[in-house]
Amino acid sequence: MRQFASSGFRLWNLGVESKVLYSAFCLLILLGVASSALYYGDLVGAGTQGIRRYYAGQGDPAAPALDAPVAGPTIDVPEEGARQPIVVAVSYRKLLEVTHFHLFTMPVVLLIVGHLFLATGLGDRAKLAWISVGAASVALHLGTPWLVRYASPALAPLHALSGIALTLTMSVLTLAPVVSMWTGAKPRGRAQADHQGPVRNG
């Protein structure tokens, strides 16, 4: 932690053991982001219709019937009508439970990878932009399920877009430190100064 407090600290100055530790952390976080995307896609289904169905309980009018007839011998039985899949909106308690859990995990992950990202050789404007977008995407992705559930199912695309933004920003925030610490990338100004060498008077 004292290394992070130093004003001149950069990731490429770390020892090999620290680089291995931080690299493992970043790559595992990246796997976590990927697994979350896969889990989310499997949970609510493809497209924004799955988001509307899961959070707001809005059914798909084009959904095929569960008892759709198939080719084969016909049997004369009374028709009971085609059954549609049961679609129920996520409950307030379930939504509160998921939000509560993620509010205590996602900010911590953002804080850690953000500190590593700040120690890369990127410029201050790039750091500010990526950190800001990362924080906004986390907040938006945690808030949009509530909007879809209680405001309007039409806001489902906003949840999908926030998920894409979250995946992109977290990928950058975790991969940039790994690249920086192992390649020894330096800020442009510092690299030019090192190349020119010390300035001599007279």
Over residues 124-148, the pLDDT tens digits come to 999 999 999 999 999 999 999 999 8
Question: How is residue 10 written in tokens?
Answer: 């950069």
- Is the pLDDT at 169 greater than 90? The verdict is yes
**Average pLDDT score over the chain:** 76
pLDDT, mean of residues 114-133: 91
186 within 8 A of 12, measured Cβ to Cβ: yes
pLDDT confidence of residue 11:
78
pLDDT confidence of residue 175:
93
pTM: 0.65
Q: How confident is the model at residue 199 (pLDDT cuts 50, 70, 90)?
A: very low
Question: How is residue 133 written in tokens?
Answer: 């977008």
Q: How confident is the model at residue 198 (pLDDT cuts 50, 70, 90)?
A: very low
pLDDT, mean of residues 56-65: 58
What is the rounded CA–CA span in Å between residue 199 and residue 201?
A: 7
Q: Is 152 left (phi over 0), alpha (psi -120 to 50) or beta?
A: beta
Residue type, 171: S
pLDDT, mean of residues 168-183: 91
* Rg of the chain in Å (alpha carbons): 25
CA triple 101-23-159, angle to 5 deg: 35
What are the sequence ranges of the domains in the chain? 16-67+81-196
The residues near 66 (Cβ < 8 Å, ≥ 6 apart) are: 82, 83, 84, 85
Tell which CATH classification among 1.20.120, 2.60.40, 1.20.1050, 1.20.950 matches the domain 16-67+81-196.
1.20.120
